[in-house]
Structure 1
Amino acid sequence: MKKRYFWTISLLILPLLALIGCSAQTTKQGSVGIERQQMLLVSEQEMQQGADQAYREVLAEAEKNHALNTDPKELKRLRTIASRLVPQTKIYREDAPDWQWEVNLLKSDELNAWCMPGGKIAFYTGIIDTLQLTDDEIAAIMGHEMAHALREHSRERASQQMVSQAGLTALSILTGIQGPALDASNLVMQTTFLLPNSRTHETEADRMGVELAARAGYDPYAAVSVWEKMGKLSKDAPPEFLSTHPSNATRVDDLKKYAAMVEPLYQQAKKNPPKPAKIVSQPNP
């Protein structure tokens, strides 16, 4: 009996271990030099399909609570900024400008913003109002969140979950206790709202974000002012947006360094404004 369990578990785990050895670079390096191999076991298509479903669920819940796109002027501002950022994503991924990018505004006091796989963006009114964000600062935050999607950080964390799930499956064979099943929508929800980004993910998003903003004609140094504002609010307990990577001197110094690196791109974009993309205007469920 024990030998049978051993071979069963081996058949489950050994192929997965082989896959773990496989890695990929999901984006080009850009001017800021992003270069890191990632373990990606979950397919890109699966993550994007899961994101589509998860995003609709979030929008439907917001609409039900009369919290979806309640400020047309602010929503237009967000989508205008996104329309300038989206074309710049080609610097990192050729296919990204053709994603079905969507931007929506959720009424909430929460200081938060995010971008699901495939370009599904949400900004909360709390982060805009509390920090009194300028267009440049919104571009800094939006570029940071878009970078998470471009770099497929959710897919990477979902793959890590897949490895953990395989371990639970093997354990359930031995114990008879079934672990929870994870579908793509649940994976996206978890990686967006529950599973924290690593410091490596945050640093990559910071650096890519300032380049996207600069290429779109937004001041890359605005990222510095955003985190300085955040830092003042997070002396006791960091807001949700900073829960895994609080603003500190190291982060601000890194942003200053990379903002200086991409400033020539910003000056060039100011002289020759890039052509904006079309952002989905009516994605309500």
Structure 2
Amino acid sequence: MERSHYWLAVLIIALVSGCATSPTGRSQLMLISPETAISESEKAYIHTVSTLGQENKLVSDPAINQRVQVITGRLVNVAIQRYPRTRNWKWSVAVIDDAETVNAWAMAGGRMAVYTGLLEQLKLTDAELAQIMGHEIAHALANHTAEQMSVALATQLGVTAVGIATEASDKTLTVGAIAAQLAVQLPNSRTAEAEADRIGIELAARAGYDPQAAVTLWQKMAKAGGDGPPQFLSTHPAPGNRQATLAALVPKMRQLRPATLGPVAPVTLAR
């Protein structure tokens, strides 16, 4: 069979069978299974963290690390309660020492990272940081890595990129791991962003954080970046009326908020 016909057949079969439903009820294209995305993301994450460690780019300040770890742990506790399938995920977070980068990301399976530039440039409150990490956890819960890898495969946009990356990258990374790595570097869809906003603000509220922080966070984000937008917005494009949408959710989210901050689930700090 000719190569083009082979891929056409693969895509037709996959398009017929490769559908899933997100936590908000949205239909998703899933040519890459969530399990595969988690496995490949683990390889990419370990490689990334190892490289950052060798370059002394992982934060050593215990106060910063503990702050991120505790806030993330509260959110993970809620995530596990509401999505029991995530109980055995290897939840982890890397705090990257890069004051110039205003960004955070998550891979499939609960592998996350946040840059010090996000904390320092935006002067985040704990509640605002909870919104960021809740948003990232939401990407993992909604299988957005697998979805993004699937869309890239379906459109063949990712095939060339992965091929080029394979030629130039460390050979210890598989093509799948490179694809998982690319998934956090390429822009999410606005639909996925809106979904992560909706899930993330609820996670933060149920963990005990003021949902109004979702609004103030994006007010700060809009002002940040100087001559250009923060890097966060290059991979997390803002849905239209983001602040207004989040503000409309605040009253409902406040009803879900407990009187005290919630318990902290174990989250491994990448070192």
2:62 equivalent in structure 1: 72
Q: How does 1:1-285 map to 2 (within 5 A)?
A: 5=2, 9-22=4-17, 23-27=19-23, 34-90=24-80, 93-108=83-98, 109-165=100-156, 183-193=175-185, 195-234=186-225, 236-243=227-234, 250-266=241-257, 269-271=258-260, 273-281=261-269, 283-284=270-271
Q: Which runs of 5+ in 1 are unaligned?
A: 28-33, 170-178
Unaligned runs of 5+ in 2: 167-173
CA shift digits 1:187-225 (9 cap, x unpaired): 1110111x2101101100111110000000011111111
Q: Which residue of 1 aligns with 2:170?
A: none
The DSSP-based 3-state class of the residue aligned with 2:219 is helix
Determine if contact 1:26/1:151 at 8 Å carries over to the other structure.
yes
CA distance in structure 2 between the aligned counterparts of 1:46 and 1:68, rounded to whole angstroms: 27
Deviations 1:107-163 (CA, angstroms, capped at 9, x unpaired) = 002001111111111110100011111110110000001111111111111011222
Structure 1, 227-236 or 80-89: larger mean CA deviation: 227-236
| TM-aligned CA deviation for residue 244 of structure 1 | 5.3
Q: Output the amino acid matched with 1:117.
A: A
The alignment partner of 1:24 has SS state of: strand
Which 10-residue stretch deviates more, 249-258 or 208-217?
249-258
How far, CA to CA, are the matches of 1:66 and 1:219 in structure 2? Answer: 34
Residues 207 and 235 from structure 1, CA distance in 2 versus in 1: closer, same or farther, beyond 3 angstroms?
Answer: farther
Which amino acid is 1:39 matched to?
L
Superposition TM-score, scaled by structure 1 size: 0.83
Q: How far off is 1:166 after superposition?
A: 9.7
Native 8 Å contact 2:72 2:267 kept in 1: yes
RMSD: 2.4
Alpha carbons 2:184, 2:235 under 8 Å: kept: no
Large movers: runs of 4+ above 4 Å: 166-169, 179-182, 244-249
Structure 1 residues 13 and 91, CA gap change in structure 2 (3 angstroms): farther
Letter paired with 1:270: A
Go from structure 1 to structure 2 and tell me whether the alpha carbon gap of 1:52 and 1:76 turns closer, same or farther (over 3 Å shift).
same
Distance 1:19 1:231 in 2: 39
Higher Cα Rg, which structure: 1
Distance 2:158 2:65 in 1: 44
Alignment size in residue pairs: 259
Distance 1:135 1:161, change over 3 A: same
